[in-house]
Amino acid sequence: MKVVTVVGARPQFIKAAVVSHELRKRHQEILVHTGQHYDYNMSEQFFEELEIPTPDYNLGISGGTHAQMTGKMMIGIEEVLMKEQPDWLLVYGDTNSTLAAALAAAKLHIPVCHVEAGARVHNRTNPEELNRICTDHISTLLLASTLSGYEEMAYEGLQDRGVVVGDPMYDAFLEYSSKLSIQNITLKLLAGGEAKVPPVFYYLTCHREENTREDKDLLEIFKATEMLDAPTIYPVHPRNKARALRLQEAYQFGKILLTEPVGYLESACLVKNAKKIVTDSGGLQREAFFAGKKCVTILDFVCWPETMVSGRNELSSPNAEEIIKKLEHEQFVDDTYQPFGDGHSAVKIVEAMEQHYGGGK
Ligand code: UD1
Ligand code: UDP
């Protein structure tokens, strides 16, 4: 099979790392980077650390409004697809890069394989939800990471094209999360200088459009960190850099370590060693679950229902008192409960594409 894979954002590099290695054992892969994430520590560092093959094309498209970004990407991806004439287009998740690639391919009658299909938050103001719904409806093969994703497909008449393969984020976590030891991590502080990881710490990430429209949400999250019994490490997504620095300076928050984004090996190691986790990231919620760490998610919708059991992951509004209250709730971890597969989803993804090869044209 000849497969064109399109990636563009940090979570997609992680998933592509494990799938690409498996795919290339038997098939030809052409890797396209849209350019959506472009800073060294948001992109190239992941390719280096996870040994992802160098992209065959980098379209250099980033920023702008959703429509500007998606539209420009469609034009660039269409050119690549017309030239390469692949048997499959392979896409991951729910970013603008995912939707642009799927739409360009579907219009050229190239079968689309969507990894992380069926995930729904049931909130259409969430930009990723629109990307997920549209991508699933124009895809040929819908690969769900969990049973709940597969069940969601039934409500939209999609299940006959769906297969449960497990979560490649789980494969990646198993493969990469023990590569570094915490003592060897040096944090690059956003304001300049470096710091070692404190012996006890909380891990925070926050980048969603829902929490970054105004100052007040991040301000509440920072206030919560002041009320905790240990420092909080927050690798700041570029979307929030200026705001995070400004708020820390204005309010002199002393317990939060604002750092540059970290690579995946560092992030996974921080997850494993953190006391507890506060996030709005879809990936980090699952990684907290993989590591058995208590997680509080600052969103008003559920991304991964499988994690919302036994106090393991709880939603909170961006309110300092509520965040602290939820963090204090006990969790119960049952190691036999493994809803994200067996760590071999990359093999199952490639097998599913082989089995459905030719069927979608
Ligand atoms: C995107 C995804 C989101 C995902 C996140 C992963 C969409 C709609 N959103 O959000 O689902 O959770 O990636 O991290 O696709 N920027 C930089 N340097 C970079 C990357 C971004 O400075 O390397 C800045 C740009 O100014 C850009 C802003 O961050 O305008 C937001 O980036 P964008 O790719 O639009 O969205 P994310 O918030 O990263
Ligand atoms: N991540 C990382 N460095 C960071 C912050 C996050 O490597 O500084 C990893 C994190 O471990 C997770 C992935 O990036 O696996 C998820 O990406 P992100 O949170 O940006 O997007 P989402 O999952 O919300 O789409």
The DSSP symbol for 325 reads H
pLDDT in tens, 294-341: 999 999 999 999 999 999 999 999 999 999 999 999 999 999 999 999
In sequence order, the β-bridge partners of residue 187 are 195
d(CA 11, CA 346): 15
Indicate whether residue 283 lines ligand 2 (CB < 6 A): yes
Give mean pLDDT, residues 201-220.
Answer: 96
The separation between the first and the last C-alpha atoms of the chain, rounded to the nearest angstrom, is 13
**Nearest Cα to Cα of residue 6 among 55, 72, 64:** 55
Q: What is the pLDDT of residue 275?
A: 98
- What residues contact 146, with CB distance under 8 A and at least 6 apart? 164, 166, 167, 304, 306, 339, 340, 341
pLDDT in tens, 50-86: 999 999 999 999 999 999 999 999 999 999 999 999 9
Look at the block and give the residue holding tokens 């960190």: 225
User: What is the spatial distance between Cα 206 and Cα 228, in angstroms, rounded to a whole number?
Assistant: 17
Q: How far is CA 20 from CA 120, 131, 206, 310, in A?
A: 25, 23, 28, 35
- Residue 281 Cβ inside 6 Å of ligand 2? The answer reads yes
Tell how far the Cα of 73 is from the centroid of ligand 2, in angstroms: 22
Best probe residue, ligand 2, of 10, 99, 257, 302 (max atoms within 8 Å of C-beta): 10
* Domains (range + CATH), the chain: 2-167+341-355 (3.40.50.2000), 182-327 (3.40.50.2000)
Instruction: Answer whether 259's CB lies under 8 Å from 188's CB.
Output: yes
Determine if ligand 2 sits within 6 Å of the CB of residue 297.
no
pLDDT digits (tens, 9 = 90+) for 216-265: 999 999 999 999 999 999 999 999 999 999 999 999 999 999 999 999 99
Separation of 96 CA from ligand 1 center, angstroms?
9
Pocket of ligand 1 (CB under 6 A): 9-11, 36-39, 42, 63, 94-96, 127-128, 207, 238-239
Neighbours of 314 (CB within 10 A): 18
Entry field: residues in the chain? 361
d(CA 262, CA 188): 8
Mean pLDDT of the chain: 97
Q: How far apart are CA 87 and CA 3, in angstroms?
A: 6
Residue 36 Cα to ligand 1 midpoint, Å, equals: 7
> Using CA atoms, how far apart are residues 146 and 164, in angstroms rounded to an integer?
6
Cα–Cα distance for residue pair 24/56, rounded to 1 Å = 14
- DSSP state letter for 318: S
pLDDT band of 359, cuts 50, 70, 90: low
Ligand 2 midpoint to CA 235 (Å): 10
In percent, the amount of the chain with pLDDT more than 90 equals: 99
Helix%, strand%, coil% for the chain, nearest 5: 45, 15, 40
* 8 Å CB contact between 92 and 116: yes
Specify the ligand 1 atom closest to the Cα of 207: 38
Main-chain phi, psi angles of 33, to 5 degrees: -105, 120
Q: Which of 207, 237, 344, 356 is catalytic?
A: 207
Checking if the pLDDT of 361 tops 60, the result is no
Residue with CA closest to ligand 1 atom 14 = 10
Residue 262 and residue 236 in contact, taking contact as beta carbons nearer than 8 Å: no
Ligand 1 binding pocket mutation candidate from 33, 37, 123, 211 (most atoms within 8 A of CB): 37
Q: What is the pLDDT of residues 139-175, one digit of tens each?
A: 999 999 999 999 999 999 999 999 999 999 999 999 9
| 207 classed as catalytic | yes
From the CA of 208, give the closest atom in ligand 1: 38
* Tokens linked to 360: 């979608």
Neighbouring-strand partners of residue 129: none
CA-based diameter of the chain, in Å? 60
